[in-house]
């Protein structure tokens, strides 16, 4: 019996694999990886990992299993009931009650990490079936190896998804848009990128540490007839806030759709 199994060693599965090894939660010998392609199996085998193409073998011989597959293929490959002590899911739209259909005897953990987890700077929302299981603390430790965790009621999962799971994409588009606008004026890319990211990091730190409201901090940068307000007015005219709201609602609604399709 392996102590930990990973079904789906993509970007997030690999991030968690590295996290648990860095934190010495499990050793390589205690882990089994379900890897589909021959090339990937050979790669992980060369690193000293146990791998298998057999999904059932991995599920039936692991104490804790991380489900890190696309939710769209879940029903194709998980098509019978398995007896696994603990299941940790990082799949969007898969509720605890949905996972119970195939893992009725398992302690279920529903989580949503984001991509900064790949550098151990992630933010993860997590919902537990209960807090009485012996796997409660262990599953927290596993997720904390890559991220800060926010323990939430499961009914908030869809509503909070735009703020952590999807946020890196929205933020990166914001950053890219400013970079693209800047380099049109023949400013070197690396200068623009570093200046922008340093400014954002400082702004985030001030936002976190200041006792002033967000509205007040916006006002602090603006002066009547100045450069900042000229730019802000264009954002207001372009319905920037309304577009953000529409983005948020579209993300949330799609998560609800995925949940309801189960």
Query: What fold characterizes domain 2-154?
Result: Rossmann fold (3.40.50)
Residue 238 pLDDT more than 90?
yes
Walk across the sheet containing 50-52 and list its strands.
50-52, 31-34, 2-7, 62-67, 86-89, 107-112, 122-128, 147-151
Cβ proximity of 82 and 56 under 8 Å: yes
Q: Which two tokens stand for residue 170?
A: 């929205």
Residue 262 pLDDT more than 80?
no
* Alpha-carbon distance values, 238 to 50, 193, 235, 243 (Å): 54, 24, 5, 9
Q: Which two tokens stand for residue 164?
A: 């952590």
pLDDT digits (tens, 9 = 90+) for 89-106: 999 889 999 999 999 999
Determine the pLDDT at residue 134: 92
Average pLDDT over residues 146-152: 97
How would residue 230 be classed by pLDDT, with cut points 50, 70 and 90?
Answer: very high
Residue with the bigger pLDDT between 37 and 21: it is 21
Write down the domain spans for the chain. Answer: 2-154, 167-259
Query: What fold characterizes domain 167-259?
Result: ProC C-terminal domain-like fold (1.10.3730)
**Backbone phi and psi for residue 102, each to the nearest 5 degrees, phi listed first:** -110, -15
DSSP 3-state of 3: strand
Residue 116 pLDDT more than 90?
yes
How would residue 228 be classed by pLDDT, with cut points 50, 70 and 90?
Answer: very high
Q: Which two tokens stand for residue 184?
A: 């049109």
**Through-space distance between the first and last CA atoms of the chain, rounded to whole angstroms:** 31
Between helix 11-22 and helix 135-144 the angle, nearest 10°, is: 100
**Backbone phi and psi for residue 62, each to the nearest 5 degrees, phi listed first:** -130, 140
Between helix 240-260 and helix 227-237 the angle, nearest 10°, is: 50
- Read off the pTM: 0.91
How high does pLDDT run on average in the chain?
95
């Amino acid at each position: 019996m392996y102590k930990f199994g990973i079904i789906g060693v993509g970007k997030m599965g690999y991030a968690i694999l590295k996290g648990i090894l860095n934190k010495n939660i499990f050793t390589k010998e205690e882990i089994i990886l379900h890897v589909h392609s021959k090339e990937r199996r050979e790669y992980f085998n060369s690193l000293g990992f146990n791998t298998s193409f057999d999904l059932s073998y991995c599920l039936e011989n692991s104490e804790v299993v991380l489900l890190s597959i696309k939710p769209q293929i879940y029903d194709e490959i998980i098509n019978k009931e398995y007896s696994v002590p603990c299941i940790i899911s990082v799949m969007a739209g898969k509720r605890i009650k949905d996972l119970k259909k195939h893992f009725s005897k398992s302690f279920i953990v529903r989580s949503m990490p984001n991509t900064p987890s790949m550098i151990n700077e992630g933010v993860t929302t997590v919902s537990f079936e209960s807090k009485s299981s012996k796997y409660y603390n262990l599953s927290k430790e596993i997720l904390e190896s890559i991220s800060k965790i926010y323990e939430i009621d499961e009914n908030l999962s869809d509503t909070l998804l735009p703020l952590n799971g999807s946020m890196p994409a929205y933020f990166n588009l914001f950053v890219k848009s400013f970079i693209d606008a800047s380099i049109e004026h023949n400013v070197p890319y690396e200068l623009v990128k570093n200046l922008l990211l340093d400014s954002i990091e400082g702004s985030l730190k001030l936002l976190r540490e200041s006792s002033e409201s967000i509205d007040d901090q916006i006002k602090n940068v603006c002066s009547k007839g100045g450069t900042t307000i000229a730019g802000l007015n264009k954002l207001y005219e372009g319905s920037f806030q309304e577009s953000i709201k529409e983005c948020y609602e579209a993300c949330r609604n799609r998560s609800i759709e995925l949940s309801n399709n189960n």
